[in-house]
Chains A and B, each alone.
Chain A
Amino acid sequence: GAGVSQTPSNKVTEKGKYVELRCDPISGHTALYWYRQSLGQGPEFLIYFQGTGAADDSGLPNDRFFAVRPEGSVSTLKIQRTERGDSAVYLCASSSYIHNEQFFGPGTRLTVL
């Protein structure tokens, strides 16, 4: 079966621009997570959805970051007024129920020039 997919795989943008990153979870998975990973570091939690609602958004660094999951499946991470420090690999994961393994996508590499 299909795994978690993320688009685009690479995104280059200029400082100050708006970007959207998309995540397609595994079909039927109710939980969806966003992480970001800077070079040489482990992934850092951003936000977690259970169904359509954000159950934990404590990892979003500031109000420039926002994520939605309107129908409980696909999710979009939105970053406004991008900064060079936002450059990282953004990872999405999904899982089927609490305490089960998280399945990760390949990530979107965001570069802010």
Chain B
Amino acid sequence: DAKTTQPNSMESNEEEPVHLPCNHSTISGTDYIHWYRQLPSQGPEYVIHGLTSNVNNRMASLAIAEDRKSSTLILHRATLRDAAVYYCILPEGGSEKLVFGKGTKLTVNP
């Protein structure tokens, strides 16, 4: 799988926006960018995915750089329930397995 690089940890205050970066400089043209998150003591949870265009859903927005070598997951208003480890994943085309790195541990301060 294309490798991703994420900061180990980030902090945010409640009700403020959070921008979680991911670098994937070796991404290929067919690689989708997936984001999952894992709340404490739970299994991972899908957040969002995209290929080239920016994507929005009820949980978050995904901003993809024009050269696709980086992306940013945006939580518009962080809540305490958003405290989790966020994983940026690039499954290879045709491969169904997700290769998780260590992700970014997001702490949300009240």
Q: Which residues of A contact B (CB under 8 A)?
A: 4, 31, 33, 35, 40-45, 48, 50, 55-56, 58-59, 91, 93, 95, 98-99, 101-107
Which residues of chain A have C-beta atoms less than 8 A from B44's C-beta? 43, 91, 93, 102, 104
Cβ–Cβ contact B43 & A45, under 8 A: no
Cβ–Cβ contact B100 & A104, under 8 A: no
Which residues of chain B have C-beta atoms less than 8 A from A42's C-beta? 85, 87, 100-103
Categorize the interface residue count of chain B.
Answer: 20 to 34
Within 8 A of A (CB), among B80-101: 85, 87, 95-101
* Cβ distance B96 to chain A, nearest Cβ, rounded Å: 5
Q: Does B45 contact A (CB under 8 A)?
A: yes
Cβ–Cβ contact A106 & B42, under 8 A: yes
* Cβ distance A100 to chain B, nearest Cβ, rounded Å: 9
Cβ–Cβ contact A41 & B102, under 8 A: yes
Contact of B100 among A31, A44, A58 (CB under 8 A): A44
